[in-house]
Amino acid sequence: MSHPNADRSNDTGPRRTVYPIMTEKTFTPLYAPCFEARSRESPAFQDRPTSHWFDKQPRRFTAEQREHTTLLFGGLTVAQDRFIQAALTGLGYKTLALDCPDSKSLNLGKEFGNRGQCNPTYFTVGNLLKYLHHLRDEQGIPTPDIVENYLFVTAGTCGPCRFGMYATEYRKALRDAGFEGFRVLLFQQTDGLKQATGDNDGLAMDTRFFLQLVKAVIAGDVLNAMGYRIRAFELKPGDTDAAMKRCHGHVIEALSRRRSLLRALWRCRRELARVAVDRTQLRPRIAVIGEFWAMTTEGEGNYRLQQFLESEGAEVDVQLITAWLLYLIWGKRYDVRRREDLAPLGGSDADSPDPRGLLVRLWLADRSIRGMFQVFARVTGLYDYHLPDMEALANLSHDLYDNHLRGGEGHMEVGKVMMNVIHNKVNMTISVKPFGCMPSSGISDGVQSLVTELYPKTIFLPIETTGDGAVNIYSRIQMQLFKARQAAQQDVDEAYGRYGIDAEAVDRYLRTHPRLQRPLHRSPHSAGSTSADLIHDIGARLRSWRRIRETANRFVRAFGLGARTSPSDRRA
């Protein structure tokens, strides 16, 4: 073995570079004593006591404080924030859901936060500060009383992206804004939703608590999905929103008074069934995916994206928070299975001494959430809604985005775009993410360029939110919407061609079968837009009827009974 820089003047053979193999023997004399060991021996380190930095977390919340302490929270959709507030009120807590974050929240977040954070931090931290300023400056509550009588509950994790820093950011901004000691309690997402900071006494994290939370989240998801399905086709603008407002009232009453949620959802069904719709209007269906907070918020954090799309004549397909819960469960199951594979190689399964039992519990959790969702959906009238198959999503995206990467939405963004185009679920997909979001714009969007190469029919638009520049974003969306409308029109034309019908035949059929125009009706999925689905639905019905009629005519001719035409025959 020779070093690459060794003297080769006497070599006669072909020139080859041979690199040394780094073994313990060759490594140690080269690099030891290492920098740390040498530094520790230096006199500068001798007399200095070790003092590690420790982030002091004001987190005490005891059962005695419950009566006078208001729990603040927020960050999901408006419906879910309100329902969670009602659910916690029903459990005996004093709670308040903060308003949807706006530009003022962003400015406050930037003023008191560190540089270089992603903007969900600025929006959510600023939103909390905005409310605390309101208490102090407008309601005249002294700061020590605010610190004593309020606390904030939010989700947290240890990473891998900047989400892991949110709790520290909250504390930094609160301290700098004059609310030193204000408590921020975290639900750890990756650790099975257990409280990571805080004294357990105040928040009783028992089955009842989580059940109420899950019910509130799922009820919110079902109503949100219903709203987006109906609003795009309403005949009188504002009808759906008015009905949704009444629905929120029913659910809030049920959750806060611990009454039957199913009965409340049934009342919602009746409210929504009164909205008049016309599904023959051509509305391109647009999926909104992306970073969790950016795609979920309904305010200035994503330029009111959902509202803007609807105002431009699109039907919005939102991602549900229930799907996020399923993703967390999937991630845990995947990791346990991988650790099981490692066990024979000497790896450990530190998380659980009983991995089989844990897998069964996770499977049960998955089934329970899906079951609860479908019950709520059917009662409310949300038919034919399929929650994503997490295993299929992971398998589909795995070749392009490794399933081990978990920041942000992990492989889900890539998987969702692939699913959308393979199964023609929507006419266009928008992926929205905060500026500089590492998992979403840094990784997923890079992979999406390959997805669009592999599936040229994809209409995909990634947008980054910064809190300003809304006009620029709207203009980019409008340009892509033009393409989406063309795709939707093509879907409709194909559907007409396939069944040999036209718009007039569809109108005629709808006049004689008005139940297809009921707001809760859902035609089976066949194409990227709802109007194309409706044409496929009607075309298939007409075709079946035509076949029955032809068979009957053949039968009649064969037996010489003479042709007869039924009244419904003539109508069709």
Residues that bind ligand SF4 (CB under 6 A): 118, 120, 161-163, 291, 407-408, 434, 437-440
**Length in residues, the chain:** 572
* Adjacency order of strands within the sheet including 460-465: 315-317, 285-290, 428-434, 460-465
Closer of 388 and 407 to ligand SF4 (Cβ):
407
- Dist. CA 354–CA 460, nearest whole Å: 43
Least Å distance, CB 42 to ligand SF4, is 39
Strand 70-73 and strand 150-156: the pairing is parallel
Comparing C-alpha atoms, which of 400, 480, 476 is closest to residue 444? 400
Torsion (CA) 360, 365, 368, 374 in degrees, nearest 10:
-120
Rounded to whole angstroms, the Cα distance separating 233 from 214 reads 30
Looking up tokens 């431009």 gives 312
Nearest distance in Å: CB 83, ligand SF4: 23
Least separation in angstroms between residue 235's CB and ligand SF4 is 39
> Would you say 135 or 161 has its CB closer to ligand SF4?
161
Rounded to the nearest whole angstrom, what is the least distance from the CB of residue 228 to ligand SF4 in the complex? 23
Three-class secondary structure assignment of 211-269: HHHHHHHHHHHHHHHHHHHHHCCECCCCHHHHHHHHHHHHHHHHHHCCCCHHHHHHHHH
Kindly state the smallest distance separating residue 57's Cβ from ligand SF4, in Å. 20
Beta carbon nearer to ligand SF4, 75 or 408:
408
3-state secondary structure of 96: strand
Quote the least distance from Cβ 440 to ligand SF4, whole Å: 5
Closest separation between CB of residue 138 and ligand SF4, Å? 31
Cβ atoms of residues 373 and 382 within 8 Å: no
Q: Which is nearer to ligand SF4, 381 or 434 (CB)?
A: 434
Q: Which is nearer to ligand SF4, 75 or 539 (CB)?
A: 75
Nearer to ligand SF4, 417 or 437 (CB): 437
Question: Nearer to ligand SF4 by C-beta: 388 or 439?
Answer: 439
Cα 95 from Cα 185, distance rounded (Å): 14
- Residue 67's alpha-carbon distances to 72, 417, 448, in angstroms, are 14, 47, 50
Min dist CB 570 to ligand SF4, Å, is 60
Q: CA triplet 9, 13, 15: central angle to 5 degrees?
A: 70
Q: Which is nearer to ligand SF4, 443 or 487 (CB)?
A: 443
**Nearer CB in complex with ligand SF4: 156/388:** 156
CA distance 255 to 81: 12
| Least Cβ distance, residue 35 to ligand SF4 (angstroms) | 32
Sheet containing strand 70-73, edge to edge, reads: 94-97, 70-73, 150-156, 183-188, 194-195
Q: How far is the CB of 348 from ligand SF4 (least distance, A)?
A: 28
What residues contact residue 333 under an 8 Å CB cut-off, 6+ apart? 359, 362, 363, 366
Choice between 381 and 407, CB closer to ligand SF4:
407
Query: C-beta of 437: minimal distance to ligand SF4 in Å?
Result: 3
Helix axes 321-342, 390-397, angle to 10 degrees: 70
The minimum distance between CB 103 and ligand SF4, in angstroms, equals 18
Closest alpha carbon to 520 in 217, 265, 215, 318: 265
Q: How far apart are the first and last CA of the chain?
A: 89
Q: Report which DSSP code applies to 438.
A: I
Q: Which two tokens stand for residue 536?
A: 């496929």
Name which of 369, 403, 402, 375 is nearest 388 in CA terms.
369
Which is nearer to ligand SF4, 75 or 407 (by Cβ)? 407
Structure tokens at 562: 């003479």
Query: With respect to ligand SF4, which residue has the nearer C-beta, 162 or 183?
Result: 162
